[in-house]
Amino acid sequence: MALVPCQVLRMAILLSYCSILCNYKAIEMPSHQTYGGSWKFLTFIDLVIQAVFFGICVLTDLSSLLTRGSGNQEQERQLKKLISLRDWMLAVLAFPVGVFVVAVFWIIYAYDREMIYPKLLDNFIPGWLNHGMHTTVLPFILIEMRTSHHQYPSRSSGLTAICTFSVGYILWVCWVHHVTGMWVYPFLEHIGPGARIIFFGSTTILMNFLYLLGEVLNNYIWDTQKTAKLK
């Protein structure tokens, strides 16, 4: 019942996310003490999503090892449910939200870091932790997509789910502003109401695009592998 390299890698990634979350929560930043705490930041929500996802991946691997060759139909049925949950979470949350966080953060950071990650935060968050939150998410999720085949849900249900998440987070950001009078992200303070509506609409469209990108990438990777095996 030996673990294969990709299973060991998933466990290592899970432990890295647990370490990042623990270190991030241990930082005493003023924003953590205000309404919503860490949960008002998409970066933190994404870290939780990634940690839960890779936790499910590790649990699936362990269940698969325990179920293999047992002939227990109930265990196999439960394993299939776990695999379905893993695949759904990658398709709807882990890939689109993870890629969104990395792409949007670094694009805005390159344009003007004060709009998304003020230099003041360097006094609280070390560089390695910043990259753990905003950089390594992308290679980790791509590694997972490359090493395991994931069955995507129907396109309509997948897009509905990611739209629900996107709109829910936008409403949460607006609610935090309603309660505190301050926007979660500094750049939202510097644009007008019309520009905010366009920005929020654009982010929802981008999330949908990233869902479709993940579906296409997943199919390309595994269709290519099937073709290679047939040759």
Asked if the structure places residue 178 within a domain, the reply is: yes
Q: By the 8 A CB rule, do 153 and 214 touch?
A: no
DSSP secondary structure string for all residues of 86-97 = HHHHIIIIIHHH
**Tokens coding 16:** 């890295």
Asked if the structure places residue 37 within a domain, the reply is: no
Asked if the structure places residue 199 within a domain, the reply is: yes
Asked if the structure places residue 60 within a domain, the reply is: yes
Q: What single letter denotes the amino acid at residue 65?
A: L
Q: What is the pLDDT of residue 143?
A: 93
Q: Count Cα atoms within 13 angstroms, Cβ side, for 150.
A: 29
Counting runs of H as helices and runs of E as strands, what totals does the chain give? 8, 0
Phi, psi dihedrals of residue 104, rounded to the nearest 5°: -65, -40
Residues in the chain: 231
**Entry pTM:** 0.91
The parent domain of residue 214 ranges over: 6-26+42-230
Number of domains making up the chain: 1
List pLDDT tens digits, range 187-230: 898 889 999 999 999 999 999 999 999 999 999 988 765 555 54
Q: What is the pLDDT of residue 3?
A: 57
Q: Which of 27, 210, 211 is nearest to 103 (CA)?
A: 210
Asked if the structure places residue 31 within a domain, the reply is: no
Q: What is the pLDDT of residue 181?
A: 92
Low-confidence ranges of the chain (pLDDT < 70): 1-3, 69-71, 224-231
Q: What is the pLDDT of residue 68?
A: 74
